[in-house]
Amino acid sequence: MRISSLQVYGYRSIKSIDLKLDALNVIAGANGTGKSNLYRALYILWAAASGQLAPALAQEGGMTSVLWAGRRSKLDDAVFRIQVKMDDLTYKLECGCAPASARGFMSYPGWFSNDPDIKKEEVTTDFRARKIHLLKRKRGVISARNMDGRPIEYPLTGSDCESVLSCLREPHLFPDLSVLRREILGWRFYHHFRTDLGSPLRREQIPTFTPVLSHDGYDLASALASIMAAEGEVNLKKHLNNAFPGAVLKIDMEPRTVAFTLQMPGLKRPFNARELSDGTLQYLCLLAALLTERPPNLLVLNEPETSMHPDLYAPLAELLVEASKRCQIVITTHAEALAARIEKMTGKRTIQLEKTDGATSVVGAGLFDFYEDDEED
């Protein structure tokens, strides 16, 4: 399922935003305009579905850090909301801080008070222009439509900071929720490939068939070898040559070790991963991530051009456009030249972010009001 819209309210610098998404989406903007915050907003939904919501928010400082710190009217709740629409399913998550009276545990009041308190969680579908709730969670009361389409009280097995999606224990009884959870868990995120001198991807690895590159690229050699083994070699070579004309990638596979080398034209010997530049390794990681034999339904890349010279933007744009035929892609970037090149190839306008009064907004779109609607079925 492809995401057709993403709405975010009250999360970090995103006071309120509404994005329509396509097959390949480029989000650009200057430092601090909120690109990574949008990347994180999608990641938060993935974390919620996988049972990692509280740790994911804790990485950012917990609830008190992630709530929009700008002015809000007295009527606005101190919550963040993130909503995605995928085909005819819409998932919305709303989190705030627990009220003081309900914080902590009986024996230890006040403990874990910076965890998210899920105020609302909804899955809706459109049926004959009406919004039908497949899941409705509000202040601890949860109802879900079962396989017969009847809303029943849902027994939550988790706590107030765990999503219903992550706690689904009987997926066959709630097939729509189960489909949605599977879709969200299928999203893949790459934020930062480690290319520093101590990075594990610069060392020999233990070979294992790796159709999906790890989030920090540590298993790059196995991932590149897996693309080759799974008949992706021609494509891999094509895109490698676009970036580094004449370069030859070789895999040295032993039963207990795997490594790769890159032979550059004009040099007498190939270079191993310890010797390659940060930008070259970054590009190889992107090749492995984007040419995977097992494409996800959504691939989200945060600033993939890191360490790259602008000469690599053209081959990277081609790689992204080609990969977007197999999976939906969202990238954030500082590189206006990369964004412009993709825009030229796809005809789809770059989503340009700016900051006004501390709030992230899309250039030319104004602020969007993500009001609550409590429309009944």
Ligand X SMILES: Nc1ncnc2c1ncn2[C@@H]1O[C@H](COP(=O)(O)OP(=O)(O)OP(=O)(O)O)[C@@H](O)[C@H]1O
Residue 34's binding partner, choosing from Mg ion, ligand X, none, with beta-carbon cut-off 5 to 8 A by kind? ligand X
Q: In angstroms, what is the minimal distance from the CB of 27 to ligand X? A: 9
Answer yes or no whether residue 36 interacts with Mg ion by CB under 5 A.
yes
Binding ligand X (rule: CB under 6 A), the pick from 20, 55, 59, 69 is: 69
32 binds ligand X (CB under 6 A): yes
- 33 touches, from ligand X, Mg ion, none (C-beta below 5 to 8 Å by class): ligand X
103: number of Cβ within 10 Å: 17
**Binding status of residue 12 toward ligand X by CB under 6 A:** yes
Pick what 288 binds: Mg ion, ligand X, none; C-beta below 5 to 8 Å, kind-dependent.
Answer: none
Site for ligand X in 320-359 (CB under 6 A): 334, 358
- Angle at Cα 86 formed by Cα 80 and Cα 92, nearest 5°? 20
Euclidean distance between CA atoms 245 and 371, whole angstroms:
52
Kindly state whether residue 66 participates in binding ligand X, applying the rule CB under 6 A.
yes
For 331-342, letters b (16+ CB in 10 Å) and e give: bbbebeebbebb
Half-sphere exposure of 336 (CA within 13 A, CB side): 5
From CA 73, how far away is CA 117, in angstroms rounded?
21
Amino acid at 60: E
For 293-319, letters b (16+ CB in 10 Å) and e give eebbbbbbbbbbbbebeeebbebbbbb
Among 27-35, 78-86, 140-148, 276-284, the segment contacting ligand X (CB under 6 A): 27-35
Least Å distance, CB 359 to ligand X, is 8
**First-residue to last-residue Cα distance in the chain:** 24
Q: Which stretch binds ligand X (CB under 6 A): 24-32, 45-53, 239-247, 265-273?
A: 24-32
Cα–Cα dist 119/98, whole Å? 9
Closest to 3 in 3D by CA, of 361, 343, 328: 328
For ligand X, which stretch binds (CB under 6 A), given 65-73, 142-150, 237-245, 304-312? 65-73
Strands 328-333 and 351-356 come out as unpaired
Segment contacting ligand X by CB under 6 A, of 59-67, 267-275, 293-301, 308-316: 59-67
Structure tokens at 301: 């890349």
**Shorter beta-carbon distance to Mg ion: residue 182 or 334:** 334
DSSP class of 109: B
Question: In whole angstroms, what separates CA 267 from the centre of its chain?
Answer: 39
Q: Which does 205 bind (CB under 5 to 8 A by kind): ligand X, Mg ion, none?
A: none
Supply the minimum distance, in Å, between the C-beta of residue 237 and ligand X. Answer: 33
> Contact between 17 and ligand X (CB under 6 A)?
no
- Cα–Cα distance between 98 and 198 in angstroms, integer? 42
Binding at 31: pick from Mg ion, ligand X, none (beta carbon under 5-8 Å per type): ligand X
Stretch that binds ligand X, among 46-54, 62-70, 85-93, 137-145 (CB under 6 A): 62-70
Do residues 330 and 27 lie in contact, with contact meaning Cβ atoms separated by under 8 Å?
A: yes
Residue 29 touching ligand X (CB under 6 A):
yes
Token digits for 177?
A: 């929720």
The answer to whether residue 68 forms part of the interface with ligand X (CB under 6 A) is: yes
Mark the segment that binds Mg ion (CB under 5 A) among 36-44, 81-89, 163-171, 189-197: 36-44
Distances (CA, A) of 256 to 116, 208, 253: 44, 9, 8
Footprint (CB under 6 A) of ligand X, residues 87-146:
none
Indicate the SS3 state at residue 142.
strand
Minimum distance of Mg ion from residue 200's CB (angstroms): 24
Residue 209 Cβ vs ligand X, minimum distance, rounded to whole Å: 34
Nearer to ligand X, 93 or 287 (CB): 93
Q: By the criterion CB under 6 A, which residues form the site for ligand X? A: 12-13, 29, 31-37, 65-70, 334, 358
Q: By the criterion CB under 5 A, which residues form the site for Mg ion? A: 35-36
